Structure 1
Amino acid sequence: MSLPVVTATRYVLPLREGGSLPGVVEGNDLGTYVIKFHGAGQGPKALVAEVIVGELFRRLGLRVPELKLIQLDPAIGKSEPDFEIQELLIRSAGLNLAVDFLPGSFGYDGSAGNPGDEAMSRILWLDAFVANVDRSWRNTNMLVWHKNLWLIDHGAALYFHHSWMSAEKFASLPYDATDHVFSVAVPGVAKVDRELTAAITPSLLEEVIGLVPDEWIADGDRERYLGHLLARLSQRSAWVPGGAR
């Protein structure tokens, strides 16, 4: 099983609110995508986190825009007048990440209501599991589209891989939920703990880790991701907000 692959045909515009300068592109399948570049400052590891976390969340029932791989020809970058963007496009020639563009969506700020106690608890539990530090009211990384909540931008999760801290250390790393957009859901987290723990099987983790293309991941690192995530699952008392059941 692998992610679908498309080819970028036109660079449309940059999304300058992102630190890694993602952009909007058109693909040869006539789709429109937000492209995340392997040549951006955080490098391909941010894309690895996007794939593993986004696809894990999707399989556990949360809405995540469809992810694809996208081939970028350096010729597209050579015609870009903005030097910073041109350099990024040329540096990112090859395989990048494409996130389905949701036209007319807007950032979640609470004004559209909350998604319900159970959904908030599930999101909080899963963010704690993958150590996602980027879901605060300053930047919720959630969109409202057709009245539904969609989760985006998971490149800051799984930060253990930047220095490859030991699996034991990551497993017991506490999660500070006080700054999380759904911190009010802490009392309900225990109600979803057992269900989510049972759903995250080794085979499920192997499946989502296997979706990462070889170009972005070093030999042997798939096993390391699996080991770190399984270790964390086994030490829930250390990081589940409000305590594990």
Structure 2
Amino acid sequence: MNSIDIRTVDVVQYIKPLREGGSLPAIVKADDGFLYVLKFRGAGQGKKALIAELIGGELARAIGLKVPELVFMNLDDSFSKTEPDEEVQDLLKFSVGLNLGLHFLSSAITYDPLVSKVDALIASKVVLLDSIMSNIDRTAKNTNLLQWNNELWVIDNGASFYFHHNWETWKNHLTRTFPLIKDHVLLEFAIKLKEAALVIKSSLNTDKIAEIIALIPEEWLLDEADDLNPDEIRAAYIEYINAKLAMIDTLVKESENAR
């Protein structure tokens, strides 16, 4: 039984698109009365971005980082029929079914490395986690971090695990490090990488990783273009994360050298 409980809610109101996101996420209201940032299965990177968002968010939470609550969101076909904007209309049409939402942090501001201080251990955890999950999108240009209630919150992990866009070659990634860490927005503050590595290793045991991967909805794993079936895909994510954890000292060294 999963001890991680991800709720499922229904979208009851489409409020507005967030134009700063490449995949046009939107602020929506759910039947529980809360606002969420909805990530659409019909957007550019499709269901794989939702899978990366889900895994990345729950891995971050497991190692003690702040992450908005993630929920599964049912979208019905009524919204596309009343939407005047054609681009949004298409997105809504292609996203009917199960999507992913992040609890909307009202009045949160985008993290700015020039303005906001960040705790060294937190920065180190974010850097190492992004290295483990090959997240190419946490740079000064696009931090994908929020400041809310004087705390750093991790959002937008959808550009992680990019090996899953080509299952034919995914095993080649098992032994690779992550040189792009040199562009990470928090790298200069990440001066406790060895300490962070210990926290990550103790928090992400095999059971915890399997529990997080088990959360992925079956329907997100079904894709005619993929060579693997859903069980094989789940096993691949688990093997990948375990392989990265096994080489965490190398990733620490790579980050230290880049800094």
Instruction: Number of aligned residue pairs: give it.
Output: 243
When residues 225 and 113 of structure 1 are mapped into structure 2, their CA distance, relative to the original with a 3 A threshold, is: same
Q: Percent identity?
A: 38
When residues 112 and 216 of structure 1 are mapped into structure 2, their CA distance, relative to the original with a 3 A threshold, is: same
Superposed CA deviations along residues 84-128 of structure 1, whole A, max 9, x for unmatched, are 101110110011001100111110103553221111111111111
For the pair 1:223 / 2:226, whether they are aligned, the reply is no
Shift, 1:146, TM fit: 1.3
Quick one: distance in 2 between partners of 1:187 and 1:119?
Answer: 10
Q: What corresponds to 1:35 in structure 2?
A: 38
For the pair 1:232 / 2:244, whether they are aligned, the reply is yes
When residues 194 and 168 of structure 1 are mapped into structure 2, their CA distance, relative to the original with a 3 A threshold, is: farther
Quick one: distance in 1 between partners of 2:48 and 2:153?
Answer: 22
Residue in structure 2 matching 1:53, options 51, 56, 69: 56
Q: Give structure 2 stretches of 5+ with no counterpart.
A: 223-229
Residue in structure 2 matching 1:18, options 12, 21, 31: 21
Contact 1:102 1:145 in 2 (8 A): yes
As a proportion of its length, which structure holds more helix?
Answer: 2
Q: What corresponds to 1:99 in structure 2?
A: 102
Q: TM-score, normalised by structure 2?
A: 0.89
State the AA in 1 paired with 2:21.
G
Shift, 1:149, TM fit: 1.0
Quick one: distance in 2 between partners of 1:38 and 1:65?
Answer: 19
Q: Give structure 1 stretches of 5+ with no counterpart.
A: none
Residue in structure 2 matching 1:118, options 121, 129, 153: 121
State the AA in 2 paired with 1:177.
I
Q: What corresponds to 2:226 in structure 1?
A: none
Superposed CA deviations along residues 23-62 of structure 1, whole A, max 9, x for unmatched, are 0111111111110000111010000000011011111110
SS in 1 for 2:256: coil
Q: What corresponds to 2:135 in structure 1?
A: 132
Q: What corresponds to 1:64 in structure 2?
A: 67
SS in 1 for 2:174: helix
Residue in structure 2 matching 1:169, options 169, 173, 177: 173
Shift, 1:184, TM fit: 1.1
Matches within 5 A, 1:77-88: 77-88=80-91
Shift, 1:186, TM fit: 4.6
Shift, 1:188, TM fit: 2.4
Q: What corresponds to 1:7 in structure 2?
A: 10
Superposed CA deviations along residues 190-210 of structure 1, whole A, max 9, x for unmatched, are 232233123211111111111
The two structures, once aligned, show a CA RMSD in angstroms of 1.6
Shift, 1:235, TM fit: 2.3
Quick one: distance in 1 between partners of 2:170 and 2:14?
Answer: 40
Shift, 1:168, TM fit: 4.9
Q: TM-score, normalised by structure 1?
A: 0.94
State the AA in 1 paired with 2:207.
S
Shift, 1:175, TM fit: 3.3
Contact 1:131 1:175 in 2 (8 A): no
For the pair 1:210 / 2:214, whether they are aligned, the reply is yes
